Chain A
Amino acid sequence: MKRGNRFCVFTSNLIFGAFVLAVPGVSLTAAVAHEGHGMTCTETGINALNADVQAIRDGEAKTRAMKEMEAAQDMMAKKNMEACTSHMHNAMDAYEE
């Protein structure tokens, strides 16, 4: 392999490696950021998060968080746990603002 080609392969491996590491890293960071809140789609988790959302100061973020929590509860009733968790994360994003 020529020296230039070897450099290209090394660079592309580096970029690919960084991407592979970065994708789980982003979700891990989001998970860690929301770690302090009960983020499981269970009655206890929903209740805990609802209590957190009630404590947000009145405003646009609170309204959005409340809508997300309603959607999360709907999804839990429909046994769609993935969508429920996603709405809970959105509610938490509004909380963190």
Chain B
Amino acid sequence: MSNSFGSKAMRFWPMALLAGIAILAIVGAAALVTVSGRYNVAADVPHTQAVYWLMQTSRDRSIEVHAANIVAPDNLADPKRVADGAGLYAEMCSRCHLAPGTERTEISRGLYPRAPELGRGVDLTPTEEFWVVKHGIKMTGMPAWGVTHGDKLLWDLVAFLQKLPELTPDQYRALVKSAPSHEEMMGTEADHGHEDHTHH
């Protein structure tokens, strides 16, 4: 019995020592890369595939988890909501995320990671889109619009995003033209308060 315990211990400690050394080496290497300044943070040099995957996966999972308890309003298809959202989109988003019939802009070409062209559709649910629009995303250039805009306006924007991939350039322009001005919408929201019936 004691012999068997002894042989197990003999096998365990060298393995534990090796694992400890490996962990220390990884942490040491990460610390070295961090403090040496060797990793290039310039926006005109893309991440390696491994780093890009790590950041993309962290971002996608974070959005999924944080948006899990949000409940979307049931009138996202309301034409008034979609039209109001079009006005907001043209004002707040189109320079980076582009719009039907528009050329790539200087800012859209220089941002890293690139802002997704939302007209091509995205893999997010409406509640996930709402969370992203409201809270922004660190180190991407995506601002937290919730700091300056109430939930009602942000849901209008999300309502519009559901329609965006189907729109022709003419339809997009017509929708934007039919929307109230940004100032009007901000004023309306201040008058009526925030539509905040969800937990986020």
Of A48, A54, A57, the residue contacting B44 (CB under 8 A) is A48
Q: How large is the interface on B (under 10, 10 to 19, 20 to 34, 35 or more residues)?
A: 10 to 19
Tell whether, in the assembled complex, residue A54 and residue B52 are in contact, meaning their CB atoms are under 8 Å apart: yes
Tell whether, in the assembled complex, residue B109 and residue A54 are in contact, meaning their CB atoms are under 8 Å apart: no
Of B44, B45, B109, the residue contacting A36 (CB under 8 A) is B109
Tell whether, in the assembled complex, residue A50 and residue B46 are in contact, meaning their CB atoms are under 8 Å apart: yes
B146 at the interface (CB under 8 A from A): no
User: Contacts A36-B109, A48-B109 known; A54 to B103 CB distance under 8 Å?
Assistant: no
CB neighbours (8 Å) of B103 from chain A are 35-36
Tell whether, in the assembled complex, residue A54 and residue B113 are in contact, meaning their CB atoms are under 8 Å apart: yes
Tell whether, in the assembled complex, residue B114 and residue A52 are in contact, meaning their CB atoms are under 8 Å apart: yes
By beta carbon, the residue of chain A nearest B45 is: A47
A26 at the interface (CB under 8 A from B): no
The binding surface of chain B is classed by DSSP as loop
CB neighbours (8 Å) of B113 from chain A are 51, 54-55
Of A35, A44, A51, the residue contacting B112 (CB under 8 A) is A51
Nearest-neighbour CB distance to chain A for B26, whole angstroms, equals 25
Whole-angstrom CA separation of A54 from B47 in the bound complex? 9
Tell whether, in the assembled complex, residue A55 and residue B104 are in contact, meaning their CB atoms are under 8 Å apart: no
Of A36, A54, A57, the residue contacting B46 (CB under 8 A) is A54
By beta carbon, the residue of chain B nearest A43 is: B45
CB neighbours (8 Å) of B44 from chain A are 44, 47-48, 51
Q: Which residues of A contact B (CB under 8 A)?
A: 35-38, 44, 47-48, 50-52, 54-55, 57
Q: Which residues of B contact A (CB under 8 A)?
A: 44-47, 52, 103-104, 109, 112-114, 116, 120-123
- Extra contacts besides A44-B44, A54-B114 (6): CB < 8 Å: A36-B103, A47-B45, A54-B46, A54-B52, A57-B122, A57-B123
